[in-house]
Structure 1
Amino acid sequence: MSDPRPRLVDTHVPDRPQGVVLVLHGGAARRQRMPVSPAQLSVLRMVPVAARVARTAPSLAVQRLLNTSRGWDAQATPVDDVRWALAQAAERFGADLPVCLIGHSLGGRAALLAGSQPAVRSVVALAPWLYPADGGTDLTGRDVLIVHGDRDRIARPDIAEEVARRLARTARVGHVTVVGGKHAMLRHVAHFDGLAADFAAATLLGTGGDGLVGRALAGEQWLSTEPAAS
């Protein structure tokens, strides 16, 4: 059996894209190194996210990255796969196009850790599975949005908040709490997918953004899908 390789799957590619969005899946590690299957749930979960971005911003090229292996393999981490995907995007679409990374769970961690790559303008981490030390990443000049459900029992919301505070030392960071949201993002899907798509469009196309995205880009860091009491 040949060694597994990362793969890129086109969701939408316009003739002259104005930017590139790379959508990164999560997925738990296995005892043995296992290749990523296009049919695994963590991969399928990102299909509607990518589709939502394509509908929101048809002028952006949208691709899904399938990692080399499941989970976080020290031999070839998802960050290595993201760097590979960025190189592929630069070769295909041009090195001058800005990139937004959107990742879920461990894909959210990979997006944040790869966010310092020169082409990356913005990062969206959906229910990211993080270590506190991940907040030490230097994302100077980037826009970052972390979207986390308050009922997530897989990836700890408190660690995501700590990472957001530390990242805010170098980047413009918005943190949205999805009230009632869980790790799979199946409930309140419009919040998770919609915020990711709107943020990618706003940061790559300069549209400014509306609602929670607009508030985050205006400098408001702590946001919630539940309206504030009047």
Structure 2
Amino acid sequence: MGLGATQGRGARLGRAQGPTRMTAGGVVLVLPGGRETSERAPSPLAGGSARGFGRHLARQGRQQGLIAHVVRYRTLGWNGERAVLASDAEWAVDETVRRYGDVPVCLAGFGMGGRAALRAGGHPAVYSVLALAPWLPAEDAEPPEPVKQLAGRRVMIVHGTKDHRNDPELSFQLAARAKKANRDVCRFEVHADGHGLRQYRDEVRALAVDFVLGTLFGTRFARPVLDALKAPPPLGLRMPLASGFGTGVTARNGSRR
């Protein structure tokens, strides 16, 4: 029995962004950041950047029928073995299947939400996982952060090299372990950017659109994404995100100008 099936009660999906339920072709669930430990419920005003990100994805994927929901957690905290954010993410996928039927799902998370996306990525309805500046425990933690659940999914991690809050080396190390069991893992480094990935926000959003539409709808990946997925480690796990990425890419249909 999945985590979400037993512990997801009280989580909820935010308002749908995108087309109507009847025309849904795929769903991206946006998982906001959180804290390592907290029993507080998220503020109604929290997750503003996640909502903006979801709106952008839904707008770019409207032609394909992409719907975006931001997941509202029960608590702000991961809270140790309870892994609240991960169980809420699994519940959100279950709820997505209940609402929309057999549609492909992408989990896209920020910070602690990135960890939740990676942990919940084994849900049968999940096609892909996007983790932006994920918070991860040290590689010598016991038990180690699992990666076997990511087999069969396409996985992208994006991390700023100047992130002083969530160590980018930890996401590289996890990606390297995941790549051993799943060749469809890549990781992009945003050089000189910090935790919020604000300096290259447009490039990060364009990369996210390319990945989400490619994994859910089969649109053609941009060459850097193809190269990152195909390259052996460490090359495909330290792929630099070029300044201006997305210029000349029509995200709606995957074609080039």
Query: TM-score, normalised on structure 2?
Result: 0.80
The reply on whether 1:18 has 2:34 as its aligned counterpart is no
Distance 1:139 1:7 in 2: 24
Which has more helix, going by share of residues?
2
**Cα gap change, 1:45 to 1:86, in 2 (>3 Å):** same
- Aligned residues of 1:208 and 1:214 also touching (Cα < 8 A): no
Distance 1:134 1:57 in 2: 32
- Aligned residues of 1:127 and 1:147 also touching (Cα < 8 A): yes
CA RMSD, aligned part only?
A: 1.9
Written as runs of structure 1 = structure 2, the 5 A alignment for 1:123-134 is: 123-131=129-137, 132=139, 133-134=144-145
Structure 1 counterpart of 2:161: 150
Question: How far off its partner does 1:219 sit?
Answer: 4.7
Structure 2 counterpart of 1:83: 90
**Cα gap change, 1:76 to 1:165, in 2 (>3 Å):** closer
Distance 2:145 2:204 in 1: 22
**Structure 2 unmatched ranges of 5 or more:** 1-8, 244-257
Structure 1 counterpart of 2:6: none
- Aligned residues of 1:25 and 1:107 also touching (Cα < 8 A): yes
Structure 1 counterpart of 2:99: 92
The reply on whether 1:225 has 2:241 as its aligned counterpart is yes
Written as runs of structure 1 = structure 2, the 5 A alignment for 1:94-173 is: 94=101, 96-131=102-137, 132=139, 133-134=144-145, 136-171=147-182, 172-173=184-185
Structure 1 counterpart of 2:254: none
Distance 1:119 1:67 in 2: 20
Aligned residue-pair number: 220
The reply on whether 1:6 has 2:11 as its aligned counterpart is yes
Structure 1 counterpart of 2:4: none
Structure 1 counterpart of 2:78: 72
- Aligned residues of 2:90 and 2:120 also touching (Cα < 8 A): yes
1:132-181 CA-partner distances (Å, limit 9, x unpaired):
32253331111000000000000001110000000112221111001121
- Aligned residues of 2:37 and 2:79 also touching (Cα < 8 A): no
Distance 1:123 1:143 in 2: 6
Amino acid of the residue matched to residue 85 of structure 1?
A: A
1:12-40 CA-partner distances (Å, limit 9, x unpaired):
24331111110000122565x11111312
**Cα gap change, 1:64 to 1:204, in 2 (>3 Å):** same
**Structure 1 unmatched ranges of 5 or more:** none
Distance 2:119 2:157 in 1: 13
Does the residue aligned with 1:11 lie in a helix, a strand or coil? coil
**Cα gap change, 1:54 to 1:70, in 2 (>3 Å):** same
Amino acid of the residue matched to residue 86 of structure 1?
A: V
Q: Percent identity?
A: 34
- Aligned residues of 2:119 and 2:146 also touching (Cα < 8 A): no
Query: TM-score, normalised on structure 1?
Result: 0.88
**Cα gap change, 1:153 to 1:209, in 2 (>3 Å):** same
**Cα gap change, 1:78 to 1:30, in 2 (>3 Å):** closer
Distance 2:55 2:120 in 1: 23
The reply on whether 1:49 has 2:56 as its aligned counterpart is no
